[in-house]
Homo-oligomer: A and B are copies of this chain.
Amino acid sequence: MSGRITIVGTGPGNPAQTTPEAHAAIAAATQFFGYGPYLDRLELRSDQHRIASDNREELSRAKAALKAAAAGNVVCVVSGGDPGVFAMAAAVCEAIEEGPPSWRNLDLDIVPGVTAMLAVAAKAGAPLGHDFCAISLSDNLKPWTVIEQRLRAVAGAGLVIALYNPISKARPWQLGTAFAILREVLPWSTPVIFGRAAGRNDEAIAVVTLAEAKAEQADMATCVIIGSPETRIIERPGRAPIVYSPRATGGPQ
């Protein structure tokens, strides 16, 4: 029997931001693998089974999901946001490459979603309106020296930076250090956006300058966007400011 595995992105957490394609993939599956809080968002039928695992167990979760698919089940691996951005799609691909040849013969589908930086940017204005990058600040899977090199390279080249995984209990100092590095490269007036739970009931969007930015303003559910030297803030009386990066650029300073 040839099984099937679909990796689904449910978007930032607001049901109105989950695509019909994702809903259809969820309706078609019978076994659901994912981080518990992401699985909690699904409304499953009695014939649909959830296999929750911890945040840090991506590779073992991917292997368990592939094994279930290889046994003939219709399996859904659930990510928040987009599954291809610091999420489960890469872990499943890794498991396929390392696993038995039969896993390469499974029907594999990946359903994209709205990733956190897009939802946060939409709430703030258009901070990703020109060239930008997405960097994970987690040094669990890469050396901190690489992260530091990348921050200097992209800030120096004039790209807006979206930071994923900015902080956690196990990684308390990295975000503060990242701000310190960026203050060496960028104007201290550069806008910084802390976007937490964008689109959800507990949404919180804060706009500060790089001079003011503090690591304590972020938690695990936050995406941090740091402007380029050309990113601008439009003040609006009685309303939240708009942050945007102009389409035209004169180049890095």
**A16 to B251 Cα, complex, angstroms:** 38
Chain A interface size range: 35 or more
Q: What residues on B are CB-neighbors of A121 within 8 Å?
A: 84, 89, 110, 112
8 A Cβ contacts from A95-149 to B: 96-97, 104-105, 108, 110-115, 118-119, 121-123, 125-136, 141-143, 145-146, 149
* Contact call B133/A134, Cβ cutoff below 8 A: yes
Q: Which chain B residue has the least Cβ–Cβ distance from A15?
A: B20
Interface hit among A28-36, A152-160, A166-174:
A152-160
Q: Does more than half of chain A's interface fall in helix, strand or loop, or is it mixed?
A: mixed
* Partner among B17, B90, B113, B129 whose Cβ is within 8 Å of the Cβ of A93: B129
For the complex, is A232 an interface residue (Cβ under 8 Å from B)?
yes
Is A229 among interface residues, defined by CB-CB distance under 8 A?
no
Instruction: Find residues 1-37 in chain A having any chain B CB closer than 8 Å to their own CB.
Output: 11, 14-21, 24
Distance of A22 from chain B, by nearest CB (Å): 9
Please name the 6 residue pairs, one residue from A and one from B, whose CB atoms are nearest each other, closest first: A90-B129, A93-B244, A133-B133, A89-B126, A153-B157, A146-B251
